[in-house]
Chains A and B, each alone.
Chain A
Amino acid sequence: MFYREAGDFKTSYTDDNQTFPIKFDRYRYYVVLAVAFGIIPFIINDYWANAFLLPFLIYSIAAIGLNILTGYCGQVSLGTGGFMAVGAYACYKLMTSFPDVNIFFHVIAAGGITAIVCAAFGLPSLRIKGFYLAVATLAAQFFLVWLFNKVEWFYNYSASGQINAPERFVFGVPVTGANTDAWATYLFCLVFLTISAIVARNMTRGMQGRKWMAIRDMDIAAEIIGVNPMRAKLSAFAVSGFFIGISGALFFAVYLGAVEVGEVFGIQKSFLVLFMIIIGGLGSIFGSFAGAAFLVLLPVLLKLIGVDLLGWPTDIVAHFNLVIVGALIIVFLIAEPHGIAQLWRVAKEKLRLWPFPH
C-alpha cells in the first residue's frame, strides 16, 4: 500500500540510479540517520554505549569490510583479527608519532596501511582458491599477531607489551583516553560507520562491485568476459582491508583504549566477524549491520537473562553462549543460507504486494 514503486515518478537518470528506489525506503533511511545522529547522542549512557552501541558500530565496519571480500568477491578470509590488529597498531604508531594531527586522519591512514598489508596477503589468492585460500589467510592471522608481540618498535618498547591510546580531541572534545563521554565516542564511530556504509554500498552496486560478484560466481568465466581477476581480487582485498583497518583502529583507540594483541585480535575475532556476515547475510551491506547487531546483542541478552535473572554462574552462561551461537549458525545455514538480509528481502517483497498478494 505504502511500500511500492507506483506513483514515485523518476524524472532524471540521477533519480533512477538512487540507492533506495522506493520512497518508503528512502524516508526510512533518513529517519534512521536522524535518530542515530539526532536522538541517540542525547539519551545515551555509559552502559549501553560500552555494552552494545560502540561494539556494534565498530564490528559493523569490520563486517562490511569482510563482506566485501567474502560476500561480494567470494574470497574467504580467516585473517580479519590480524588485519584489525594492523589497523590498531598503525593507528597507535601514528597517534604517538604525529600527536598534532587530528585523530580522524590517523584512523583513515591506519585504514590505508591495512589496505596495503591486506592486499599483500591477498597476492596468493591469484593462485590459491577456496579452502586453500581460507587456510592461507590464517598465515596472515598468526604471523601478524606474532609480529606485533615480538617486535618492540610496534608498541614503543613499553614494558607491558600493551598499547595504550593517548588522549586525543576532535573539535576540543576528547574521543580517546580516560575522560571521554559516551556521546562523543559514539558519534565519532558513527561518522566512520556512516561514511563506510555509503562508500561500500555505492562501490558494490557500481562497476567494481559487479566485477567482484562476477569473480565470486565463477572466476574463469569472469576472466573470459573481460574482468581482470588480479585487479578485481586485489582491489577487494585492499578495500576490505581499508574498512577492517578502520574498525581495528577504532576498536583499539576509542572502544578499548588499551590492547594486548594476542587476546584482543586473536583467531576468535576472525571467526566472530565471519559469523556476523554469515548470520547477517553474505553479499549484503544491511546484512553486515544485522549480523553485527545480532552477535553483539546476544551475549548481552544472555548475560541479562542468565546471570541477572536466573542467577547462574557466569561461566555457564558463557558456555551457553557458545552453544547458542553455534546452533544458530547451523540453523541459519539450513533454514536460510543467505542470512537475516534474505529474510528482510523476502519481507520487503511481501510488503510490496500487500494487501493484495495476487
Chain B
Amino acid sequence: MPEQLVFAMEVFLNGLMAGVLYALVALGFVLIFKASGIFNYAQGVMALFSALTLVGIMEGQVPFSHIINAVFGTEIHHFGWHVPALLAILITMAVMVLFAWIVQRYIFRHLVGQEPIILFMATIGLAYFLEGVGDLMWGSEIKKLDVGLPQGINDWIDLTTYNIFDYGFFIDNLDIVATVIAALLVAALVIFSQYSKEGRAMRAVADDHQAALSVGVSLNFIWIMVWSVAGFVALVAGIMWGTKSGVQFSLSLIALKALPVLMLGGFTSIPGAIVGGLIIGVGEKLFEFAIGPMVGGATENWFAYVLALIFLVFRPQGLFGEKIIERV
C-alpha cells in the first residue's frame, strides 16, 4: 500500500473523531432550535462555563474569589477540599439546570414572539454575559480538567495497524471514548424524545407551539427542560474538549465551528448534526493534509465555513433540513 494512502487513512480516522466532538456541540444547538426556534449562539460558552464550573467544584475553588480578594483585601482561593468527579458532575448538572431556569425566566420569557434574529442576538448577549460571569467566578487562566478519562495513544490500534500497513496509526484513547459517549448520548436522546412523556411533549412543541399549548403542554416547562438538556450536552462537550486541550477561552470558539456543521446538516435534524459533524471533521483534516502544505497551512480556520457556504448555494436547507417553503 502506498505510504500517502496510509497517512490519508489515519487523517481520515482522526477527522472522524474530531467530527464527533463538533457534532456534540451542534447537537445542543439543534435541540434548542427545534424546541423553541432560538438559535443559541451561547452553546459554546455554555460548554466553557460548565467545564469551568466542573473544574472549580472539583478543585474546591471559592467562586468569585478573585473579586472578593480585590474588594475586601482577603486572600482566599480554595475551600481546601476535593470533590470526586462524579459528584462534581452532578453538582455542575444542577448548576446548568438552574442556569436554564434563569435564562428562561428572565430572558426568553420576555422575548416570546420576537423575530428569530432578535432572539439570536439575545443569545450573543447571553454568551458575553456568561463568559464574563465564568471568568469572574472561576478565574480566566487555563485549567487542567481530569475526570479520569483515558488519554494517550491507543496501543491496540497502533499495534494492529502496524502489523497490517507497517505503520502504526495514532488514535487518541480520549477520542475513542468521546465517540462512544457521543453515540450513547445520541441514543439516549433519541429514546428520550421518542418514548418518554416529556420527550413527546418536546416534539409536539417543536412541531407547533400553539397546538401543543392547546392540548395542555406547558411551554415554560418544556423550554426549561430543553435548555437543561442542552446544558447537559454542553457539559459533555465541555468535559471532552476540556480534557483534550485544557479549559480555556478558546473552548467557546468551538461554537463557531459547530455553525457550519449545522448548516451542512440542517438546523432541525439530529442525525444531520452528526453527519454534518463527521463531514466537517473529515473534510477539514483531509483538506489540511492534501492541500494545506501548498497554501501555507492553517486551512482548518476557514475550510469548514467555505465548504458549508458552497454546499448551501446548491442546497439552501442543508442535508436533512426541512424544505423551506416561502409564501407571501
User: A interface vs B, CB < 8 Å?
Assistant: 76, 124, 127-132, 134-136, 138-139, 142-143, 145-146, 149-151, 218, 220-221, 224, 267, 271, 274-275, 278, 310, 312-313, 315-316, 319-330, 333-334, 337
Contacts and interface: CB of A to CB of B under 8 A. Distances in A.
B122 A139 contact: no
Contacts of B312: 124, 127-128, 132, 136
Contacts of A323: 128-129, 132-133, 136
B302 interface: yes
Given A326-B127, A326-B129, A334-B111, 10 more contacts: A127-B312, A128-B312, A135-B262, A150-B296, A218-B328, A220-B328, A274-B121, A274-B124, A278-B121, A312-B70
A147 to B, nearest CB: 9
Interface residues of B, number: 52
Nearest to B296: A150
Nearest to A222: B328
Greatest chain A CB density within 10 A among B120, B133, B309, B312 is at B309
B132 A320 contact: yes
Contacts of B260: 135, 138
Contacts of A321: 132
Contacts of B171: none
B172 to A, nearest CB: 26
B298 A316 contact: no
A151 B135 CA distance: 36
Nearest to A306: B70
Interface string B299-328: 101100110110011001000000010111
Given A319-B140, A320-B136, A322-B135, A329 B305 contact: no
A128 B305 contact: no
Given A138-B259, A146-B299, A150-B296, A316 B129 contact: no
A135 B263 contact: yes
- The 3 A-B pairs with the shortest beta carbon distances in the complex, nearest first, are A326-B129, A329-B125, A322-B132
Interface of B: 39, 66-67, 70-71, 107, 110-111, 114, 116-118, 120-122, 124-133, 135-136, 140, 256, 259-260, 262-263, 267, 295-299, 301-302, 305-306, 308-309, 312-313, 316, 324, 326-328
A232 B262 CA distance: 28
B131 A322 contact: yes
B107 A326 contact: no
Greatest chain A CB density within 10 A among B67, B71, B305 is at B305
Contacts of A325: 125, 128, 132
Nearest to A144: B302
Given A136-B305, A136-B309, A138-B305, A326 B39 contact: no
A330 B125 contact: yes
Contacts of A127: 312-313, 316
B126 A326 contact: yes
A29 B164 CA distance: 79
A274 B121 CA distance: 9
Contacts of B129: 322-323, 326-327, 330
Greatest chain B CB density within 10 A among A129, A334, A337 is at A334
Contact of A142 (B66, B297, B305): B305
25 contacts: A128-B316, A129-B316, A129-B324, A130-B117, A131-B120, A134-B120, A136-B263, A138-B305, A142-B301, A143-B305, A146-B301, A150-B297, A224-B328, A274-B121, A312-B67, A316-B66, A319-B140, A322-B135, A323-B136, A326-B129, A328-B125, A329-B124, A329-B128, A333-B121, A334-B111
Nearest to B45: A326
B49 to A, nearest CB: 12
Greatest chain B CB density within 10 A among A76, A124, A322 is at A322
B62 to A, nearest CB: 15
Contact of B125 (A143, A145, A316, A326): A326
Given A135-B260, A333-B111, A333-B122, A128 B313 contact: yes
Contacts of B107: 330, 334
Given A136-B308, A142-B301, A142-B305, A327 B136 contact: no
Nearest to B137: A319
A218 B136 CA distance: 43
